[in-house]
Structure 1
Amino acid sequence: MTAWWISGPTRSGKTAELSQRLLQLPDDAGQPFLVFAANGDNRIALANRLVNEIQGRVAYITTTPAGFIQDEVTLFWPLLVEQLGLQAQFPLKLRPENEQLLATQLWQPALADGTLQVEGWRDRETVRHTLDFLQLAALAGIPAEDIAPLLQAGMPPSLGSATLWSALGEALLTWRDWCLARGLLTYGLMTELYWRHLLPLPRYQAQLLERFSGVLADDLDEYPAIAHSLFSVFLAAERPCLFTYNPQGQVRLGLGADPEALAPLAERCERMELSQPATDGLGHTWADTLVAWVRDPLQLPELPDAIALIQTTSRGQLLRQLAEAIITAVHSRQVNPAEVAVIGPGLDPIARYSLAEILTSKGIAVESLNDQRPLISSPLIRALLTLLALIYPGLGRLIDRDAVAEMLVVLSQRPQSGDEAWFELIRIDPVRAELIADYCYVPDIENPHLLPVETFPRWDRLGYQATQAYTDLLQWIESQKQQRQQRFMANAATLLDRAIQQFLWRGNYLPADQLSALRELMETAQYFWRVEERLRLYGGLPQPGQSSKLSDVGRFIQLLQSGAVSANPYPVKPLVAGRQGVTLATVFQYRAQRLTHRWQFWLDAGSPRWLTGKDELLGAPIFLQDWSGRPLTAADIEAAHEERLERILRDLLSRATERIILCHSDLALNGQEQLGPLLSLVSAAQPLQDPIHLPE
């Protein structure tokens, strides 16, 4: 037997077994093994672990299902061109924001006349959900032509009629064909191309077996259904295969993962059951008992000392007491910041910001997982977009006087000489900026512009530094206008780079959040104009919408102003070994990262979102292999919620090695009373002592 199926609960040693077996696998083909992880962060953690344990004794390549599919479609694009009769052009991957923008423009006539109108959905939501249907179908191995019948059979009648779902299906086919004709690929399109057209080719399968000796996949419960077909190629060829599976995992169920579709692979493997979780986790002793208590709220739980409670009336008080408990524990050396995690079913920006501010003010570092905010929320980004509107014509509607004043403040800031402190010196303060904008900014639809500082009657009262900074900015704008007219700039991405170098960088240190925002801005701009160039070469939109009346620069500004592009304000390396701060994460983020901590604080322990919170795409259940073929009933939804809650509890308990503190406020953020499924645990838990004492 050259295939193994290793299953077990959280932290039962599955990945360690994978690593050891990799060392023992025969390498008859003389090629590297293909090692899969569920997502990018897990791949980095797995790669680091294998580097330390394998130490070059076995050749392997780590990847993820998404990364592998994208690489394979790009590498074997000529085969797809030949098979599908596509234009021989190099494919260009669309980022999600480009995908959303172009699909909206392509479907604009149908959105405007109501053909694609879903009651209660805005146009943006309609486009996003429709594109999600294409991705879910591709991951499930369902042809795009079958999406409309699936939606007609599975979506609730209250959302729309069969005519509507048929129109959505037709719109997706139009979108797919339009993209393929121009070599534009989304993840959903690449996935369909892979499972439907590339993977079945004997030529490709032969190449696959020539390049890789075998395949290993960690956390198979997080993989899409089409992974079954890929792994079957290796199993049929009797190549070494190893799969690990966690029944308590399934974090990505509803986001494209289909554990039930992959479970049959176990029948073709030698099975190994790791039944016990790590003995240092609370789940080893208490998982079954706590799950039983949550299922039956009428029982009277007797919680262990390792589970304590922080309870307040309002949520604001709760955040303050939670932060103070962490500060007390850290300063008394009971626990290190890296050993603490704050987890909630929905960690809103207020909670993240409040906790980060309180903890950092006391010298405790914070690492916030995937705390993405719209790029437009950064003053630096807004200032740069305003600058674009002052240099390129026809963009007067996209800026106003307040935006100009903000730009003057942001672009005039400088660090103190010889000091790394950023934004220490403001040469144009907000008051002066408002005065300049009032007197020197000329709003105009076609040509908004700034006048010389002397236009302000009392310009001498602005001071030398403000006057000089404004004059320098005015001269720089005029020089860029001239260079644009002389075609010395390829596109606005070049201008953005120049502005960053001129006003924001200058070789000085930038805070992590500002650097992240600027990096994301430049990546977005570069992708945007690559797509614009492709559309110019191979034809634009057949029926342009209103937004296309703007120039490409105007559409770029609108894209960012819509909030479709996000950046991480706390860009740190993936949270693996070496973490330094308190982790802030949603339940989904925490479980997806496979993290473990000595102490876990469960925020909003009384919230109903522990049960009803959904980390899934609309309509996801009807794309699963075990779907019943009928619309979901209330009983189906309730059963799925309860199964999900049990997995969450078992998983989190196994990832806490010393104690769990339930954090409950009687009133939620919206002022309503909290009556969630964990309320029986909240009622039974003993208050956290002050000072904090460890359980016996």
Structure 2
Amino acid sequence: MKDRSAQIPTNSQQQAADLFDHPSIFFSGPASSGKTNAALLRLQNILTTANQGSALVLVPQRSLAEPYHLLLREMNLSEGERVSIQTMSSLVRRMISLFWPVVSSHQVFKHPYEAPRFLTLETSQYYMAQIVRPMIDQGRFNNVTLPPFRLYSQIIDNLNKSALVGFPHTEIGQRLSSAFIGDASRQNVFKDVQEAVNQFRDYCLANNLVDYSLQVELFCQFLWPNQTFQKYISNQFAHLIYDNAEEDPPYVHDIVSQWLPGLKSALIIHDDQAGYRSFLGADPLSSLTLAKHCQYSLVTTANFVSSAPLQELRNCFQDIRSCQPSQVLIRQTIGFPAKRLRFFPELLEELIVQIGEIRANPGGKDKKIAILAPYVSDSLRFSLTHNLESLGLKVSIQKPSSSLLQDSVIKTLVLLSKFAHPVWKMPVSFLDTAVALTNSIAGLDLNRAHLILGSFDQLNPYLNSLPEPVISERIPSELIERYKVLREWLLSTDSNEPLDSFLSRLFGEVLSQPGFQFEGKVQAGTSTAVLMESFQKFSLSLDQRLHVDQNLASLAFIEAIDSGLISALYLSDWDSQIDYDILIAPVMSYLMRNEPVDYQFWLNIGSKGWYERLEQPLTHPIVLSRNWQEGKQWTADDETAYNQANLQRTLSGLLLRCKEKVFAFTSDYNEVGVEERGQLLTLFQNLFRKAIRSQNER
């Protein structure tokens, strides 16, 4: 086991780790200042001191719990053995399930004596779709143009915000409407949103469905105030370590503030200039209020990751007007392409060259590199992965929530599932079938896949089943045999077999075998597991008729995926432990990963995506927060102020997580052929001008 006391050099960290002299501490500071390391030492002290009771480690999302899991492995302890590592969401769900008789006694649900069915992000979208589709057919939501499941997810997001912030869900439409400035006809859309929210909540209460928003409301209103529950939770946990409190919504801070007096000890960690999950309800200002509920407040300004020049660069970005950068500082901290890049493919080529040069330097093969952009499209992800893996580099990809069908492995499994279930009557296009075959059979290219499938009717280019293979001299015999193996296996399946069992057998008995594409590919196994888990959670929330009939349950799930079902975040043990040379991630996803690297490549610095909110016409994370004055209108000035603060917060977080150098890349025309001149590009240009002016004045 590591001796973590050797890694705690500052007085503030030692105090944070001190269990007895400082039982209740609010510890704040910038990222990479050793706060989590102090928390690990404190947890180690709890676990190695007799008669201290159990501890709860609370994190805003599961990916941030990895350092604590690592400590338990080092101490040869399993989770649950004197320590529990959870998010508040997971704790709330477990407690509602455990104390369901207490919750149901309040007669909120139509069937209080029946067990609840908990909804995931996917299943919430499924049930919301049952409500919104008829409304769309009636001409509602006609002033917005969104893919169906984006529309559903934004309505669900509104409902979640009301619970996380703590206002009635019946006020959502009014709050959005009162802040909106624009076409008066858009006001009707907010009325549609409110009606959809109301119908969804009524449907949940009538059918014992518990979505995320309802979990939070039930916990806060009925379970947390209950004396029996209070005795139980007090006996369960004597100590609390709450890391990254700024990334949680206000209701969590409310609960923790009321919890603190009854704990033996508590350490609350707050990152300054963070709150990257504000679009999910994170509230750093609310987190700061926890300081007044603690006995001690500690502040650190240390940084154990970024170099002194990078910290100076960070200060310049925070206050460009008073900054006096030198050209030496620029050369030490910022890398640039060797030439002007006109088109985006040239940028990617130069990126690969620069990475190759870093790797060629002494010790370069041990350096971690992150490639970051506001958005990482499928084409960018594929191009980078293909080029980097061809150089023998291990690539890890961080994906935000997206449609399940954007994963090529999942799309292949879904298409093959349709061929195995002809009773569904879900034909697949000829082209999609050919692509699925190339993703399934090793050595099969698109041209030979077309040859195997034979000719097709151009007026109706769809297939209901995989046809007999067309024999041709242009197709190697081993490819024909592999196609036959796959086809015969699909024809032999039982349509009533549960879909997760079918997918497991398809992966294990065919696609991961020699001669097929999934052989030896961990990511293919991970994607298959995600699809299986998604179906399992989906089927649990279905009504009894669909839940019993596995064929109907499978069909409902596949139809939902075809409609663009947005995936929840699935985190497996091997995801968090995977070793890599290059990490490719959207900027915000990387920041929430909270992992330092040696070099960062910032792509498309001209993009407005570095600071602008995503276009969400049906919701607004700031207007629906506690920090917004109800009834106040959201103006262009508010948007500008938000963008500037968001850019500063983003740049600060990135530089605090970089050890040696950042590389700023842009091209005259971006990935889709558009010129971009955003604030970040302007900020770099101002920095360079000031450096040149400073040099000339000398």
TM range (shorter): 0.7 to 0.9
Matched, 1:622 2:623: yes
Alignment match, 1:73: 96
Q: Secondary structure at the match of 1:625?
A: coil
Match for residue 286 of structure 1 among 309, 313, 316: 313
Match of 1:129 among 154, 157, 172: 154
CA–CA distance in structure 2, aligned partners of residues 132 and 582 of structure 1? 33
Q: Which residue of 2 aligns with 1:242?
A: 267
Does the 8 A contact of 1:338 with 1:581 survive in 2? Answer: yes
Contact 1:182-1:538 within 8 A present in 2 as well:
no
Distance 1:665 1:474, change over 3 A: closer
The C-alpha deviation readout for 1:395-442, integer Å capped at 9, x for no partner, is 44532444555566666x3xxxxxxxxx2579994244232x649x99
Query: Alpha-carbon deviation of 1:280?
Result: 4.5
Hey, what does 1:643 align to over in structure 2?
Answer: 645
Q: 1:306 aligns with which of 327, 332, 344?
A: 332
Amino acid at match of 2:275: Q
C-alpha separation in 1, matches of 2:466 and 2:311? 68
Q: Is 1:173 the equivalent of 2:192?
A: no
SS class of match (1:107): helix
How far residue 517 of structure 1 moved from its aligned partner, in angstroms, is 2.8
2:213 to 164, 180, 188: 188
Deviates more, 1:649-658 or 1:42-51: 42-51
- 1:399 is matched with 428
Q: Could you list the per-position Cα deviations for residues 242-294 of structure 1 after superposition, in whole angstroms to 9, with x for gaps in the alignment?
A: 2111222211122211122232221122111113333753454332223222x
1:12 paired with 2:33, answer yes
8 Å contact kept, 2:369–2:600? yes
- Equivalent residue runs for 1:172-571 within 5 Å: 172-237=197-262, 239-269=264-294, 270-278=296-304, 280-282=306-308, 283-293=310-320, 302=327, 303-311=329-337, 312-336=341-365, 338-370=367-399, 374-377=403-406, 381-382=410-411, 384-392=413-421, 395-404=424-433, 413=441, 423-424=442-443, 429-435=448-454, 438=456, 448=464, 476=489, 479-480=492-493, 483-484=494-495, 489-506=496-513, 509-534=519-544, 536=546, 552-565=553-566
Question: C-alpha distance in 2, partners of 1:281/1:615?
Answer: 36
Asked whether the equivalents of residues 217 and 244 of structure 1 are also in contact (C-alpha less than 8 Å), the reply is: yes
Q: Could you tell me how far 1:470 is from its partner in structure 2?
A: 6.4
- Structural RMSD (CA): 4.1
Q: Please identify, of 641-650 and 141-150, the stretch whose mean Cα deviation from structure 2 is larger.
A: 141-150
The 3 A distance-change label for structure 1 pair 114 and 252 is same
2:582 maps to what in 1?
A: 582
Question: What secondary structure sits across from 1:665 in the alignment?
Answer: coil
Contact 1:374 1:564 in 2 (8 A): yes
- Percentage of identical aligned residues: 22
Going from structure 1 to structure 2, the CA distance change for 1:214 and 1:141 (only over 3 Å counts) comes to farther
CA distance in 2, matches of 1:572, 1:624: 33
Q: Which residue of structure 2 lines up, in the alignment, with residue 3 of structure 1? A: 24
Deviations 1:519-577 (CA, angstroms, capped at 9, x unpaired): 223223333433345454799xxxxxxxxxx965543333222332559999883456x
How many angstroms apart in 2 are the aligned matches of 1:233 and 1:28? 27
Distance 1:537 1:59, change over 3 A: closer
Q: What corresponds to 1:416 in structure 2?
A: none
* Letter paired with 2:669: L
Change (3 A) 1:403 1:599: closer
Gap regions ≥5 residues in structure 2: 1-21, 689-698
What CA distance in whole angstroms lies between the structure 1 residues aligned with 2:66 and 2:398? 16
Give the residue type in structure 1 aligned to 2:559: Q
Report the Cα distance in structure 2 between the residues aligned to 1:201 and 1:501, rounded to whole angstroms: 48
Identify if the C-alpha distance between structure 1 residues 322 and 162 changes in structure 2 by more than 3 Å, giving closer, same or farther: closer
- Counterpart-to-counterpart distance in 2, 1:444 and 1:339: 47
Contact 1:323 1:359 in 2 (8 A): yes
Kept after mapping to 2: 8 A contact 1:216/1:241? yes
Q: For residues 306-341 of structure 1, what are the alpha-carbon distances to aligned partners after superposition, in whole Å with 9 as ceiling and x for unaligned?
A: 223324222221121111111111123342354222
- The residue that corresponds to 2:107 in the other structure is 84
Q: Distance in 2 between matches of 1:348 and 1:49?
A: 36
Letter in 2 for 1:70: R
TM-aligned CA distance change 1:326 to 1:501, over 3 Å:
closer
Task: Give the corresponding residue for 1:419.
Answer: none
- The whole-number CA distance in structure 1 between the counterparts of 2:133 and 2:185 is 19
Could you state the TM-score of these two structures normalised by the residue count of structure 1? 0.82
Q: How many residues align?
A: 652
Q: 1:84 to 1:215 in 2, by over 3 A?
A: farther
Q: Given that residues 9 and 274 in structure 1 are in contact (C-alpha distance below 8 angstroms), is that contact kept between their aligned partners in structure 2?
A: yes
Kindly state the Cα deviation for residue 351 of structure 1 after the two structures are TM-superposed: 3.0
Quick one: which of 57, 62, 71 aligns to 1:35?
Answer: 57
1:25-45 deviation line (CA, Å, top 9, x unaligned): 698985312111221111122
Which runs of 5 or more structure 1 residues have no equivalent in the other structure?
A: 414-422, 540-549, 687-696
